[in-house]
Structure 1
Amino acid sequence: MKVQTGVLERCLKGLGLSLALVAASATMVACGGGGSDSNAVSVPNGPIFQVGTAAYDSNLPPEPSLPSDTQVCATLEASNNLVSRPDGSLPPEADPSAKPVATATANPDQARIQAALDACGASVDAEVGATIASADASATAAQKAANVPNVNIAGVSGEELAKPQYKASKFAVRLVVNSTGLGNGFITGPLVLPSGVTLWIDKGVTLYATRDVMAYSPNKAGPYCGNTMVPNGSTLKAGSSSNCAALITGTNVVNSGVVGDGRIDSRAYAELVSHDVKYPLMRVDMTCSNTYASYNQATEAQAADGTPCDNGGTVVDSKSGARNMTWWDLAWLGNMVQNGATGTASQSNFRMMVFNYAKNLTLYRITLNNSANFHVVPSGVDGMTVWGVKVQTPSLAAFANPAGNGNPLYTGQTFNATNVKNTDAFDPGSSSKAISGKLSTGSTTTSAGSISFDGYLKNFVFAYNYVSTGDDDIAFKGSNNPTPAGSGLFAVDGNRDVRSDRKWGMIVAHNHIYWGHGISVGSETNAGVTNVQVYDNAFDGSEEGLRIKTDYARGGEVSNINYTNICIRNVSMNALLFTPYYSTKAVPVSGGVATPLYPNFHDITLNNVKIMGSAGVTLQGFAANTGGYGEPGHPLTMSLTNVVTDTPNGITLTSSDANLTIRGVNLPIFPSPANNVVVNGTATQAVDLNNAVDCSQAFVDFPAIGQSNLFGSTWASQ
């Protein structure tokens, strides 16, 4: 049973109820937030559900917890040389931009943090590694003996591995403020999170990413990090986040996590530096400091001024006094400028966290800021819980770039939520295949025994989070397909192997979404996404709300996505966006023949959704013969019940190729033979808005994280 920070006890005491009574009789209890005298209690499917106040939800597994002091492998204190400013940034003297920069200044803490993680990983493996391997061997043998067709070998389940016998007595590495001074910051390059280990970032501590680009691109021969494109025909690979090591990577891990009341700041707003003066960097005047061709020679060389750049810049200029670009400069240049001109550019920026193949992964209470690319990318995870996490990008620290003078983007724009590109908060998805591999026990070590992973995304819970970012707030990706060919199974399926401690396997509930592109499925859906439950979520001032989006370069089947009890206020674009025409990416080609991937959205439900203010609504299916490939149509099949707006005349609706069933709807949804829209039911402005959902307590200020809010609202206390 989950209790959220004492809220439920206080609520029930005022109502004369007990936890035992609620646990036995209700799925959810919602307590009004209007003050100590509030006595509103509601349950799902009751008269009216009050969004944003649920303090107990038996659909969910128990709330995670922080480690105890006795479970800590090592405690590392921050150096007194690193003290965060009130805006969340480091002062310029903390890691200056000298050319070249000293490694000890640019990246002082990576080695000691990694050493502590490695030692803890080795200790965990020594204590429980053999037990995990034995359990997996038994489960794998039984699954092979069963010989179930079209089912990948999953090995021991994450649910089994959550039991105490598979967890070490000491498993956490804790980062704390300096005990004798003011130091509260760590600067690190990429870290490897071992299996069974939790990185605990304590309250008041910020883990900063190093600005030294070479930390993310350590191999002299490449691939290279910190660029946007390379000349046609080059063997170098540019414009890809895969060129860069992530700040935190976990591969083949069990019972790992990143927790605490501290922060991680990737500092994508800050000027890139390098500890090697010959490493090519781009500057805001579009020149470059060197070429990869010269840097990669046996004895590093300096290209002559005027030599064409091979990293996305114009020409080498050793005399330029312009500052180096930031990660977000590269993202804007690659994605919005060069990609528009050539169609081949992107940014080679590092991601904050990447997890591939995991069982039982936890992010709890941590604050994530200013990622250079996606914040969290988990693939092929059985059992991931993201609970009480805050993501704010850009944060106030993004305005602290000493060289920016209030206009930090190289174009002269001030950083804002619309120009920090590809900063998705959470992109959970499947892996490309099932594997059997050794667990990662450290940055260079693995377990003696192997463990199986089936590659699916399973048992994913995203609850009680606060998210404001420059792209998708959360997006389920069905791009990789671990399923055996011809099985008809989905890569992301909320009904697969659902654990006994929850009702569904794919849950997004009780979250507050601010700026960003909302809760999405796609763009990649080619491997299929099904059975996702999205309920009790509030969107306040977001760019988009609820979305399923793809195209016939990445399309596939999306079904049984259920949205319930949703409040959406003041979106700048679309409150609802369901479209198979999201982009114009090139259709895949196989053997010289175009092979489109056809989007098919069906069995989508929206129940009790209130839209406040003007907004766009797009409801589109896939038309037959789109692109001239002769394929059949796949109409959007959707039911909408009690989906209302307080501004009916402020809704701009686009619909085509859709079969819609509506009841209690005042959106302008009408049949259209010309657009192949069939409507079962009648929309009317006479709908009673109070029959949908109660949004009176849905919207709250982003919780205080020691900084000022960038976009004008008053910050609430934690």
Structure 2
Amino acid sequence: MKAGSKKLNSGWTQACVALPLAAMLAACGGGGSTDGATSTTYNPGSVYQVGTTSFDPDLPAEPTLPKDTQVCATLEASSNLVRRPDGSLPPEADPSKPGVGVAVTTATANPDQARIQAALDACGAAVDAEVGAKIAAADAASTAAQKTANVKNVNIAGVSGEELAKPEYRGSKFAVRLVVNSSGVGDGFISGPLTLPSGVTLWIDKGVTLYASRDVTTYSPNPAGPYCGNTAVSSSKAGSSGNCSALINGSNLVNSAVMGDGSIDSRAYAEIVTTNKLYPLMKVDMTCSNTYAMYATGKQAADGVSCDNGGTVVDSKSSARNMSWWDLAFLGNMVQNGVTGTGSQSNFRMMVFNYAKNLTLYRISLNNSANFHVVPSGVDGLTVWGVKVQTPTLAAFANPAGNGNPLYNGETYNADNVKNTDAFDPGAAGKAISGKLATGSKTTSTGAMSFDGYLKNFVFAYNFVSTGDDDVALKGSANPSPAGSGLFAIDGKRDVRSDRKHGIVIAHNHIYWGHGISVGSETNAGVTNVEVYDNSFTHSEEGLRIKSDYARGGEVSNVHYRNICIRDAQNALLFTTYYSTKALPTAGPLYPNFHDITLDNVRILGNTAIKLQGFKANTGGFDNPQYPLVMTLNNVVTDTPNATTMTSSDANLTIKGTNLPIFANAAERVTVNGTATQAVDVEKVVDCSKAFVDFPAIGQSNLFGSTWDKK
């Protein structure tokens, strides 16, 4: 028996100590290749081969890039912005000028925002002129028909996204294309926040990188606040990502997209700079350059005055570099929040979209977000297809200090200290609205458009994701329906389109480092009817996960996982109602209730831990009933049953063909229908021989390396 393990009465062993964290930069490639994979049609039958499907009849058609004739404007990269092999820009491209009272110029810190936004605005105006009236008329007709029929179904507001997907509602020219400089030298753009208009596609061409500006004032332009680039905004109030504009923003959209074989790099690893010398910046020695109180009056604070941005004191003589966005994330979340409860990073997110019908991300690569990468809320027809997210990348090591220790505390970036870099966090919006479409950064349509605020018809397919937090997490935090309606914020059976079988689908993806495919932690408005199939996980922190707690709990039901391969995950299965110890809402606890969760044909390779926890009765002094985890596991197996850690409590489990160490336990309130057995042939459950592929090249070195076990 291995040291540090104990013998169970079944003859199996159960590890007592969790596996050590795999280093982010270890060679962790998989047993397959994206180049040589056999194309197959998805077939959920027996012994399914994970990771080889190229066509799925249950999904809508794959998106396509625009044609050249559909381009509104083509913008060339500047000849002086040339990406290095590691994906970063050289220091001379947009140099830093550290020190109190020193500012960079807009010409170097943000050279491309104005021209990109002007092109987007012009394209949005042209699309609106061509099809805006048709969209408004369709919405008005649909709304009138619902009223005439006395429809009280809050699921549908106005014209459906399915109707608006038809060609007559799209402009003949709708794309703004970013391309490599015609001289062949120059492949980068640097921009501050952009507004994506309705009906417009931002097309980032192959070989092109859109870099986020490092100028903090472009994300927080108002001297009166809210203030971006901090861990606090006063002595008692924490920072928030809501204080910053996102790099790409969009609200009230129809048929918008971000596409292309290029990439977007938020450069959260890089030193923050400012074009306003009075803007308070935090230094890696924990001093600050000014206070917000004095900045608001256009003055410089004296040395020794207490900072109000999370730092210690103002020091005009400090030679320390400015913090990076990830410095702030680690400091605010891992240090200050745990000590004082008043720390949290004010970092900009890469993309934020609110209220849309038909929003598409296709083939684009997303890297190094300062906070969440993509946050879409209230979208009918959200498609994420063929997208690559890798954070951190090798560009993160082109750090401001140039010494391999980019974090303020001397640590090298890795998967554990790049905090809150969720890849995709789709959810519902807070309410149904009727508003005008955004036709540009400062213009709107004449007619109004109705949005019911739900997330529906969401397809997440054929993506490659590796990040420092959730790879994809369904957020059931906001429900547009009136209280007590019985409707779920996310419901895969709501208004399912005719071109697909399911309304919420996560399929055919390759997941690397991160927290896997998650539901939660916000589940208070409910999540139901979710299909997750043909996905692989390699060297992930978590694989399949549903997480919540009684600060933001709610009902999660009818989530179906099938044909899954998980290799070398710290926690292959993590279903817990005790995710955190956040303060309870004023009105009292919100109880997490996970039931009707099904796992079919799941194979786990390598040592791992599994946690299956429902919610205990009478928790925290409250008179609450038990909310057991109700789960069925059919053919859920591990290649190493004697090296699997199992933690379970308050669970009603039904098992068949499963070799996990699952046993009834009266003390922990676990009931089991069926019997776990090691007499199963894991090879007949699901075929993982081609599931684990190397992360595809995205114009820079592959962090995961390659292996000899390709098949």
TM class by shorter chain equals: over 0.9
* Residue in structure 2 matched with residue 520 of structure 1 by the alignment: 518
**Contact 1:223/1:238 (<8 A) preserved:** no
Q: What amino acid is the match of 1:614?
A: N
* Residue in structure 1 matched with residue 590 of structure 2 by the alignment: 597
2:331 is the alignment partner of 1:338: no
2:78 is the alignment partner of 1:82: no
- Matched position secondary structure for 2:667: helix
* Residue in structure 2 matched with residue 578 of structure 1 by the alignment: 575
Matches for 1:197-596 after TM superposition, within 5 Å: 197-232=200-235, 238-297=238-297, 300-571=298-569, 573-590=570-587, 595-596=588-589
**Contact 1:493/1:531 (<8 A) preserved:** yes
Report the CA distance between 1:714 and its aligned residue.
Answer: 5.6
2:681 is the alignment partner of 1:688: yes
2:108 is the alignment partner of 1:110: no
Aligned length in residues: 676
- Tell me the distance in 2 between the aligned counterparts of 1:640 and 1:221: 55
**Contact 1:153/1:434 (<8 A) preserved:** no
Which deviations, in whole Å up to 9, do the C-alpha atoms of 1:392-440 show, x marking residues without a partner?
A: 0001100012414100011101011111000000000000000000000
* Comparing 560-569 and 477-486, the one that deviates more: 477-486
- Matched position secondary structure for 1:93: coil
Aligned CA distance change for structure 1 residues 92 and 61 (closer, same or farther; 3 Å): same
Report the CA distance between 1:625 and its aligned residue.
Answer: 1.0
Tell me: higher relative CO, structure 1 or 2? Use CA pairs within 8 A at least 6 residues apart: 2
- Matched position secondary structure for 1:589: coil
- Give the % identical residues: 77
Which deviations, in whole Å up to 9, do the C-alpha atoms of 1:91-111 show, x marking residues without a partner?
A: 000000123100111000000
Report the CA distance between 1:238 and its aligned residue.
Answer: 4.3
* Residue in structure 2 matched with residue 16 of structure 1 by the alignment: none
Structure 2: runs of 5 or more not aligned = 1-30
Which deviations, in whole Å up to 9, do the C-alpha atoms of 1:630-652 show, x marking residues without a partner?
A: 01111000000000000101110
**Contact 1:109/1:188 (<8 A) preserved:** yes
* Residue in structure 2 matched with residue 94 of structure 1 by the alignment: 93
Q: CA RMSD in A?
A: 1.8
- Tell me the distance in 2 between the aligned counterparts of 1:695 and 1:412: 39
**Contact 1:704/1:716 (<8 A) preserved:** no
- Tell me the distance in 2 between the aligned counterparts of 1:418 and 1:145: 56
- Matched position secondary structure for 1:338: helix
- Tell me the distance in 2 between the aligned counterparts of 1:228 and 1:38: 46
- Matched position secondary structure for 1:439: strand
* Residue in structure 1 matched with residue 136 of structure 2 by the alignment: 133
TM-score by length of 2: 0.93
**Contact 1:48/1:692 (<8 A) preserved:** yes
Report the CA distance between 1:715 and its aligned residue.
Answer: 12
* Comparing 152-161 and 428-437, the one that deviates more: 152-161
**Contact 2:567/2:604 (<8 A) preserved:** yes
**Contact 1:251/1:356 (<8 A) preserved:** yes
Report the CA distance between 1:343 and its aligned residue.
Answer: 1.7
Matches for 1:616-695 after TM superposition, within 5 Å: 616-695=609-688
- Tell me the distance in 1 between the aligned counterparts of 2:143 and 2:211: 41
- Tell me the distance in 2 between the aligned counterparts of 1:38 and 1:536: 14
2:164 is the alignment partner of 1:165: no
TM-score by length of 1: 0.92
Which deviations, in whole Å up to 9, do the C-alpha atoms of 1:25-46 show, x marking residues without a partner?
A: xxxxxxx979999999786343
Report the CA distance between 1:629 and its aligned residue.
Answer: 1.2
**Contact 1:153/1:452 (<8 A) preserved:** no
- Tell me the distance in 2 between the aligned counterparts of 1:716 and 1:113: 45
Which deviations, in whole Å up to 9, do the C-alpha atoms of 1:496-551 show, x marking residues without a partner?
A: 00000000000000000000000000000000000000000000111100000000
**Contact 1:642/1:691 (<8 A) preserved:** no
Report the CA distance between 1:708 and its aligned residue.
Answer: 1.4
Aligned CA distance change for structure 1 residues 70 and 264 (closer, same or farther; 3 Å): same
Structure 1: runs of 5 or more not aligned = 1-31
* Residue in structure 2 matched with residue 55 of structure 1 by the alignment: 54
- The 4+ residue runs of structure 1 with deviation greater than 6 A are 32-42
Q: What amino acid is the match of 2:540?
A: S
* Residue in structure 2 matched with residue 28 of structure 1 by the alignment: none
- Tell me the distance in 2 between the aligned counterparts of 1:170 and 1:314: 53
Which deviations, in whole Å up to 9, do the C-alpha atoms of 1:650-691 show, x marking residues without a partner?
A: 110000000000000000000001111000000011111122
- Tell me the distance in 2 between the aligned counterparts of 1:241 and 1:380: 19
Aligned CA distance change for structure 1 residues 72 and 515 (closer, same or farther; 3 Å): same
* Residue in structure 2 matched with residue 25 of structure 1 by the alignment: none
* Residue in structure 2 matched with residue 7 of structure 1 by the alignment: none
Report the CA distance between 1:706 and its aligned residue.
Answer: 1.9
Which deviations, in whole Å up to 9, do the C-alpha atoms of 1:561-606 show, x marking residues without a partner?
A: 00000000011x210000000000001003xxxx110000000000
- Matched position secondary structure for 1:105: helix
